[in-house]
Amino acid sequence: MPGGDSVLLPAMKNWTCNIGVSGRVFRGLMGAALLAAGLYLVLKTNSAFWGTGLCTIGCFAIFEAIFGWCALKAAGFKLPF
């Protein structure tokens, strides 16, 4: 590709940081808790469906915390945190 840009780079330019430090910390902690709860459900109980769902949501919350981007705020919702 000319210039050495990756295929995903043009799409990522539209993802501007739309949350502050407190929102990132909140999402990181929430994501870690959801991921831990999901792993517990998958590994220790017979609830693989709910555990997989919690793991997915937890990973997405961690993704939002790392990149400082909130899907709900990007969609136009007003959030207090």
The ranges assigned to domains in the chain are 20-68
φ and ψ of 80, to 5 deg: -75, -10
Q: What is the pTM of this model?
A: 0.76
Alpha-carbon span 6 to 4, nearest angstrom: 7
Q: What tens digit of pLDDT does each residue of 14-70 get?
A: 677 888 899 899 999 999 999 999 999 999 998 999 999 999 999 999 999 999 888
* 51 within 8 A of 45, measured Cβ to Cβ: yes
